[in-house]
Amino acid sequence: MEYFAHPTAIIDEGCSIGLGTKIWHFSHIMIGARLGEKCNIGQNVVVSPEVILGNNVKVQNNVSIYTGVICEDDVFLGPSCVFTNIINPRSAVNRKDQYAKTIVGQGASIGANSTIVCGHNIGKYAFIGAGAVVTKTIPDYALVVGNPAKHIGWMSEYGHRLNFNEEGIAICPEANHEYKIENEKVTRIK
């Protein structure tokens, strides 16, 4: 078998699941969902129709990923985080034609119990603190916390807080990668 699925997992027909992906207890992968290679889908996860997960996406227990969400490679979704897909839901009003798209950039981490309000993209290597409620687009490498989420700093690709010197340069203490900040935009320079 190309992927592993626990016997209690439900995998609808018409899904695409990459080589080496693992799907654990009581999770539901719905029709048209596309999961890349080497993903890990924790217990009690819902991956709705047409959701796209890149390679090596880690989804912890109790996460809900609704239609309209795209996670690029190496994204981490913490326990019980949730995405929305309608900005103004009502039980009696069908708005399935109004699903808003949310893209989570490569290497981003979303903390436990966070909520990502639809239509707001998360930048590459951004770090969303536990319990944050994201109500606007988050730039690459940004660190945001709180409700509503506030931008309080910058993170390296290895998940360390970046401290920029007078020249706008910071070095990741673990990987020794160098970053530059200009006009409130961070880029990795070497």
Distance of CA 88 to the CA centre of its chain: 22
Give the domain extent around 176: 158-190
What number is the average pLDDT over the span 119-140?
Answer: 98
pLDDT digits (tens, 9 = 90+) for 152-166: 999 999 999 999 999
Residues 151 and 164 in one domain: no
In the predicted model, is pLDDT for residue 1 greater than 70? no
What number is the average pLDDT over the span 42-67?
Answer: 98
Backbone phi and psi for residue 52, each to the nearest 5 degrees, phi listed first: -120, 125
Residues 119 and 188 in one domain: no
Residues 126 and 184 in one domain: no
Q: Is the pTM of this model over 0.75?
A: yes
What pLDDT, on a 0 to 100 scale, did the predictor assign at position 190?
Answer: 75
